[in-house]
Structure 1
Amino acid sequence: MKLNKKIIIGATALALGSLSVVAINTNNSNYVSASAASTKETTVKLRLNHNSYVYDKNGKRLKKYKGKKALIKKSQKLTIKGKIEPIQKAKRYYFYGKLENGNRPAYWLTYKKINNDYYYSIGNKGYIKCVNVKTIDGYSLMSTEATVTIKPRIEKVAHTWNKLGEQTTKTYKSGQKLIIDDTNILPNQNTYSYRVKGTDYWVSAQDLKSYPRPSHMVTSRILRYN
């Protein structure tokens, strides 16, 4: 992945836009395209960001799915049946619908938590991990937290900053895995930084092996872009 180029482009877009925390207007049912927000099952189109194994309802990897190897390639597009519902508080995996009147309502495609992982049902008793899904009906899937791997770009360790953009003494070694739970562009910086869960330590996206999945934006805050 050409991470540095994407960091600069993404950071510039975020810096130029207005970002604010808002409540979701649940009366706005203008969620678009192939699916309408509903408590009933509807047709949903998924696009993957990674090859995905197929699992059963207990989280056990299947050997066969529909008579073939239980592996769905990244290039494949899936059409499934699922429930899409509006949310007022971010779910572990969620997405934003169509922009209407300055508001982009948030939704979630219902998933199942098995042990410590989250799965979407794809029918025929098969499940795939939510983290392997890139888009739902063309809308980018987001998460409230994600796991990343440290890979310092310049030095042997990755330095950290606090929310004020001040460098701290905390560092992380190459290969360390961290759970992150927020995304921001800190003061006096022009690239994304991610907050290490449970701390005020922020690591630069440039010191990560790759962007978090399913999306480079990780946050539990409900956002609106004007």
Structure 2
Amino acid sequence: MYTYKIAKDKYVPTSVISTLNGKSVLYIANNSYVYDKNGKRVTKNSKRVLLRRSRIVNYTGSIKTAASDAYRFLVNDGKKMALSTKTIKGHQYYSIGKNAYIRVSNVSYVNNEPLYAAYQTVTLDKHSNESKVPVYDAEGKRVSQELTAGSKVSVDRTKTIKNGDQTLILYGIKGQKSYIDMNDIATMPNLAVTTEE
């Protein structure tokens, strides 16, 4: 567990902090370089500025109702909200100060609320050492469609299915009614996607 020092010999988990110095915060899930508005890494004393995972930082920007394709988080009443982003060289960034940005994909919480992606792109792994990866319907039954290990797939939701004595965690393929098994994903996405009922 990563902690933040609040007084001598007193610490709290960084994941529960929603403000720092009276300002709202981002929780960094992965080591993140800081970039300028041109997409160049910021340096300080000839070293690139790197924010380590599990650190919290203040941000600048506004929070508003989330668009359908936005990185979003849910507030207490279930309303989907989003923090404003800036697109730099095809990637989405949050502002953390004057001409200082970090990639949204390296952030997991905004104001202690979990961050969800509209979708994430994953790489498929082999299925039982076979290169053909099965595809499932909404009930967890295999369909005729197959995918290939090593290919990239965009997923936008998850679903848990009881299939006999097995429990499957499925990821919905974006734009389709079909799913892939979590166990067939080589590397899990950095951010969560919506959970489907």
Q: TM bucket by the smaller chain?
A: 0.7 to 0.9
Pair 1:185-2:121 in alignment: no
Equivalent residue of 2:144, what SS? strand
CA RMSD between the two structures: 2.9
1:46 and 2:58 are equivalent in the alignment:
no
CA drift at 1:64: 0.9
Q: Is the 8 A contact 2:72 2:80 kept in 1?
A: yes
Q: Distance in 2 between matches of 1:65 and 1:138?
A: 29
Once residues 121 and 63 of structure 1 are traced to their aligned partners in structure 2, the CA distance between those partners, rounded to angstroms, is: 13
Which of structures 1 and 2 has the larger relative contact order (alpha carbons within 8 angstroms, sep 6+)?
A: 1
TM-score (ref. length: structure 1): 0.67
Residue 56 of structure 1 corresponds to 36
| Counterpart-to-counterpart distance in 2, 1:43 and 1:107 | 18
Larger radius of gyration: 2
Q: Return 5+ residue gaps in structure 1 as ranges.
A: 1-32, 36-41
Q: Percent identity?
A: 27
Retained in 1: the 8 A contact 2:140–2:168? Answer: no
| 2:77 counterpart of 1:136 | no
Contact 1:194 1:202 in 2 (8 A): yes
What is the distance in 2 between the residues matched to 1:181 and 1:174?
Answer: 19
SS at match of 2:93: strand
1:171 corresponds to which of 146, 155, 158: 146
Task: Name the structure with the higher helix share.
Answer: 1
Matched, 1:213 2:190: yes
The runs of 5 or more residues in structure 2 that have no matched partner are 1-17
1:107 maps to: 81
Determine which of 70, 74, 97 is the counterpart of 2:75.
Answer: 97
TM-score relative to the length of structure 2: 0.75
Which is richer in strand?
2
